[in-house]
Chains A and B, each alone.
Chain A
């Protein structure tokens, strides 16, 4: 029989949200709460023969497993975030016992309270900007035909590379601009690294993968800012609203690994 660990999903203010009993946690286990002072942690038991370090190492290389676990995690976070200011916890954060979680709530009470205050009344939006590598910059016009197919080919190819380079620079500059505009409407902004084309399933360049923490009263304004960035030869994708995943990082580790990028 497997030992079990305590999987932590999120921490919220104890505004009373009961555990989402219609939303099972990872591995199908029911979610329960651990309350300490005015903080509440959402947890569920997980068997350590599946969620121990070694099995996890293997499981994390299985896309289906990762997807299933991520969605289960996300469902719980969503259910909680709909009702109270919530700090989602990173995927697969597991304690050996509930007591450790209670201890976390106790020792980090002030840090957690500060984080929850920062995200209260605010939601996260994701904005991705894609640019077409084919460039489309007007500089990419056909070089004159010299009559020699080899030369023409080489020139065309050079022009292609140049225009690709220009297109990249223009796209990157546009992404900076877009990020600045969106960040000015947001309370906080964070750039995730661009998604690997293998995972995004797209061939074009993702030049911005931003997350923006926006006051609920400024949603419309933010949406308008996003809309204003469309056109210009780029594709702009908006996702959300999200629970404030990108804005609840607590620098609790000994190494302080948060690098802000």
Chain B
């Protein structure tokens, strides 16, 4: 498989050790999407106790879907590549994989 991933950062083998040694990532450098994974799907859920049922997961899911739609270019098709739908057919004009000699 390809050894280098396009625009991958020069992250490297020592990153784990380095992170572990350095302690926590400054909050402003945390990727929002990683944070949302945790803030929307994790954490103490206290729906049973809430007076305002704002942590309602359905509400959050619906809203996120809208959010995703809103930041997608209007003419772009739905990406349906994951999970479980591996074969998004390449658009016409991109014949299969690149063809290295």
Residues of A within 8 A of B (CB): 5, 8, 11, 51-53, 56-57, 60-63, 66-67, 70-71, 73-75, 78, 82, 87-97, 100, 103-104, 107-108, 112, 115, 124, 126, 130, 132-137, 140, 142, 153, 156-157, 159-161, 163-165, 167-169, 190, 192-200, 204-206, 209, 211, 219-220, 222-224, 226-227, 230-235, 237-242, 245-255, 257-258
Contacts and interface: CB of A to CB of B under 8 A. Distances in A.
Contacts of B97: 134-135, 140, 160, 163-164
Contacts of B5: 130, 132, 204, 235
Given A136-B1, A206-B82, 9 more contacts: A8-B46, A78-B27, A88-B43, A89-B46, A112-B44, A135-B1, A161-B89, A223-B16, A241-B19
A202 to B, nearest CB: 9
Interface string B49-86: 11111110101100110111011100000010111001
Interface of B: 1-3, 5, 8, 11, 13-17, 19-20, 23-25, 27-28, 30-55, 57, 59-60, 63-64, 66-68, 70-72, 79, 81-83, 86-90, 95-99
The listed residue with most B CB atoms (<10 A of its CB), out of A61, A108, A165, is: A61
Contacts of A88: 38-39, 42-44
B87 A161 contact: yes
The dominant DSSP class at the B interface is loop
B55 A93 contact: yes
A21 B32 CA distance: 24
Contacts of A51: 54
B44 A87 contact: yes
A205 B1 CA distance: 14
23 contacts: A57-B63, A60-B63, A63-B67, A70-B39, A87-B44, A88-B43, A94-B50, A94-B54, A95-B51, A103-B49, A104-B49, A130-B5, A156-B95, A164-B87, A192-B41, A200-B33, A204-B5, A205-B82, A205-B86, A222-B16, A224-B17, A233-B1, A254-B48
